[in-house]
Amino acid sequence: MSLASVSRMEGKLLLPTYERQPILFVRGRGVYLWDSRGKRYLDFLSGIGVNALGHNHPAIQAAIKRQAGRLIHVSNLFFHEYQAELARLLTQISGLDRAFFCNSGTEAWEGALKLARAFAQMNNKNGRKPNPKWRILAMENSFHGRTFGALATTGQPKYRAPFVPLVPGVSFVKFNDVDDLQRKFDSSVCAVCIETIQGEGGVCPVNPEFLKLASRLTKRSGALLLLDEIQCGLGRTGRHFAYQHYGVLPDVVTVAKPLACGLPLGAILTTERVASCMHPGMHGTTFGGGPLACAVAIEFLRAERQLLKHVRALGEYFHAALEALDKKHKSIQDVRGAGLMQAVEVDSPELAKAVAGQLLQEGIIINRTHETVLRFLPPYVIQKKHVDQVVKALDAALRKNEESTHKKKKSAPPRRKEVHAHA
Ligand SMILES: *Cc1c(COP(=O)(O)O)cnc(C)c1O
């Protein structure tokens, strides 16, 4: 089927939730994708951080073929060979003790929120009802997913507004504002929710002082520190987990995006102490943690471990090249990120849109998030030459579009340069 006919049919048959680029992809290999007309694209977004090993990785393809011929689904009423092994690998790299497997990021986050409430409920020994420890502190500018609990903790009005009322009990803290966190935290809080690096919110890393304060406050009062590493976890920053750059251990961490290389799989990881609030029947899933997805995730983690050093090296190389661009372009407001999660903030949504559009036309896939932020989430297997190609194209696209997008505005906003603690 052609792009035109697919697009026409989708326009009639699907809920109008997406504004897709007019490209029909049919094939991928390594860092490249091909569309229905045979045009090749360099993929610097990897399906929003999912295809971390690139497309059609031989070990992943082999694992899918092998397992698809043996067993795809059994439900969680029975054992299969791979959940225990995958949990062993994930607990080993995270420093946590137990895992729960589900199907997506938002579902992992829902489970994390339920753990926080259940843990508080278990410790509500004074018999008073309702449970005095029920409030959840979440961050402004955050993103945790599209289900109701995840939306309730997502600090961006545009995602929440159409669906209110959401899950009650959530208050928002200004991200990285230690005074605001101090002010809003008290003994009624059961969880503090943080993306170690905010992804959809524009690739904003948490400050070390802020994360350490959140860790200290929660420890002292018996609340839980919930870290969402669905985008920044599992090797993306050059460590298994982004919190490992900070020397902080969360009570609960969620992962998903790259875990099964494109098959739906998410996980909640937590401590023995927190896990003790769960008993059979309290939480579950039909599909989550099936044999196919888990077998693939085991292969992914085998490869991820080998790539951490490479991700750190390429991330530094990429970041330095973006900082050099920053010196050349007044329109660049900030360059931030860690490992292969990088971003360039420009001074107008129009410029960000024009640049992303131009790169796409030239066969380079990146993404614009939070209006003015160009986001890069390339696969871990990129080489320096791929970075060079993207930076060169970015340089040209900025130069070409700075003029035209700025003419429309009366004056450029004052240049805002932020210093970010690079963890
Ligand atoms: C993508 C994302 C989610 C939601 O994951 P889905 O699989 O789309 O439900 C949650 N949190 C963060 C940080 C994400 O990047």
DSSP states of 97-157: -EEEEESSHHHHHHHHHHHHHHHHHHT-TT--SS-S--EEEEEBT----SSHHHHHT-B-H
User: Measured from the CB, is residue 104 less than 6 Å from ligand 1?
Assistant: yes
Torsion angles phi and psi, residue 298, rounded to 5: -60, -40
- Pocket flag, ligand 1, residue 143 (CB < 6 Å): yes
The residues, ordered by sequence, that sit 6+ positions from 268 with a Cβ below 8 Å of its Cβ are 99, 100, 102, 108, 111, 112, 115, 252, 253, 254
State whether the beta carbon of 145 lies less than 6 angstroms from ligand 1.
yes
Q: How far does CA 51 lie from the centroid of its chain?
A: 12
| Pair (33, 169) in one structural domain | no
- pLDDT reading at 376 higher than 50: yes
Based on the domain organization, do 106 and 162 belong to the same domain?
yes
Domain boundary (260, 289, 318) is at 289
Determine whether the shortest distance from the Cβ of 106 to ligand 1 is under 6 A: yes
pLDDT tens digits, 292-306: 999 999 999 999 999
Q: Is the pLDDT of residue 409 over 70?
A: no
205 CB under 6 A from ligand 1?
no
Q: Do residues 20 and 50 both lie within one domain?
A: yes
For residue 317, the SS3 value is helix
Give the per-residue pLDDT at 407: 59
The mean per-residue pLDDT over the stretch 256-279 comes to 98
Q: How far is the CA of 156 from the centre of ligand 1 (A)?
A: 14
- If asked whether residues 44 and 103 sit together in one domain, one would say no
pLDDT mean across residues, the chain:
95
**Taking 60 as the threshold, does the pLDDT of residue 117 lie above it?**
yes
Claim to verify: residue 332 and residue 271 sit in the same structural domain? no
Looking at the predicted structure, is the pLDDT value of residue 169 above 70?
yes
Q: So what's the pLDDT on residue 207?
A: 98
- Write out the two tokens for 7: 């697009």
CA–CA distance, 381 with 392 (Å, rounded to integer): 19
Total domain count, the chain: 2
Whether the predicted model's global pTM rises above the 0.85 cut? yes
Q: Residue type for 392, please?
A: K
Tokens found for residue 216: 């200290």
Task: Say how many Å lie between the CA of residue 228 and the centre of ligand 1.
Answer: 9
Do 127 and 197 belong together in one domain?
yes
Nearest to 138 by CA among 162, 109, 95: 109
CB 347, CB 409: distance < 8 Å: no
Q: Decide which of 289, 317, 334 is a domain's last residue.
A: 289
Q: Please, how many CA atoms are within 13 Å of residue 43, restricted to the half-sphere of its CB?
A: 24
* Per-residue confidence band for 128, with pLDDT thresholds at 50, 70 and 90: low
Same domain, 244 and 102: yes
Interval between CA 107 and ligand 1 midpoint (Å):
9
pLDDT at residue 284 tops 90? yes
Q: Give the closest residue to 335 by CA, choosing from 390, 417, 261.
A: 417
149-to-136, 168, 184, 226, 332 alpha-carbon distances in Å: 11, 9, 20, 14, 35
pLDDT at site 131: 86
pLDDT recorded at residue 156 = 97
Pocket of ligand 1 contains residue 233 by CB under 6 Å? no
Given the CA of residue 254, which atom of ligand 1 is nearest to it?
11
Token pair listed for 304: 């991820």
Q: How confident is the model at residue 420 (pLDDT cuts 50, 70, 90)?
A: very low
AA letter at 327: K
- Tell me whether residue 71 is in a domain: no
Same domain for 401 and 258: no
Question: Which CATH number do you get for residue 243?
Answer: 3.40.640.10
In a domain, 421, yes or no: no
Q: What is the 79 CA–ligand 1 centroid distance (Å)?
A: 28
What residues are paired with 226 via a beta bridge? 193, 252
Least confident of 55-69, 113-127, 257-271: 113-127
Contact predicate 177/390, CB 8 Å: no
370 pLDDT higher than 50: yes
Same domain? For 217 and 315 the reply is no
Ligand 1 center from residue 73 Cα (angstroms): 24
Q: What mean pLDDT is predicted for residues 387-392? A: 98
* Span 224-245, average pLDDT: 98
Structure tokens at 148: 């109701």
User: What integer pLDDT is reported at residue 405 of this predicted model?
Assistant: 79
> Which of 342, 419, 340, 414 is closest to 381 using CA atoms?
340
Q: Among 102, 103, 110, 143, which is best to mutate for testing ligand 1, by the most ligand atoms less than 8 A from CB?
A: 143
Same-domain status, 14 and 153: no
Phi, psi at 128, each rounded to 5° = -70, 140
Which of the 8 DSSP states describes residue 41? Answer: E
Does residue 267 contact residue 113 with C-beta atoms inside 8 Å? Answer: no
- Which residue's CA is minimally distant from atom 10 of ligand 1? 144
Residue 248 CA to residue 242 CA, distance in Å, equals 10
In a domain, 256, yes or no: yes
| Token pair listed for 201 | 């919110």
Q: Residue 32: which CATH number?
A: 3.90.1150.10
Pocket test for ligand 1, best of 109, 227, 263 (most atoms within 8 A of CB): 109
Residue at 298 is within a domain: no
**Residue 140 burial by CB count (10 A; 0-12/13-18/19+): exposed, middle or buried?**
middle
Please report whether residue 67 resides in a domain. Answer: no
pLDDT in tens, 65-99: 999 999 999 999 999 999 999 999 999 999 999 99
| Residue 351 within a domain | yes
In-domain check, residue 87: yes
User: How many percent of the chain have pLDDT more than 70?
Assistant: 95
Alpha-carbon span 359 to 343, nearest angstrom: 15
Helix axes 291-328 and 58-68, enclosed angle (nearest 10): 160
Same domain, 109 and 236: yes
Closest CA to 83 of 283, 259, 213, 321: 259
On whether the CB atoms of residues 268 and 261 are closer than 8 A, the answer is no
Looking at the fold, whether 324 and 231 belong to one and the same domain comes out as: no
Query: 286: pLDDT confidence band, cut at 50, 70 and 90?
Result: very high
In a domain, 19, yes or no: yes
pLDDT at 419 (0 to 100): 42
pLDDT tens-digit readout, 308-339: 999 999 999 999 999 999 999 999 999 999 99
9-57 residue pLDDT tens? 999 999 999 999 999 999 999 999 999 999 999 999 999 999 999 999 9
* Structure confidence at residue 165 (pLDDT): 97
Cα of 354 from ligand 1 centre, angstroms? 26
The string of pLDDT tens digits covering residues 180-204 is 999 999 999 999 999 999 999 999 9
Domain end residue (candidates: 289, 323, 351): 289
**Phi, psi torsion values for 102, nearest 5 degrees:** -140, -160
Q: What residue owns the CA closest to ligand 1's atom 15?
A: 231
Cα of 145 to ligand 1 centre, how many Å? 5
Pocket test for ligand 1, best of 102, 144, 370 (most atoms within 8 A of CB): 144
Q: Could you tell me the distance, in angstroms and rounded to a whole number, from the CA of residue 105 to the centre of ligand 1?
A: 4
Q: Which domain holds residue 149?
A: 83-289
Q: Is there an atom of ligand 1 within 6 Å of 144 CB?
A: yes
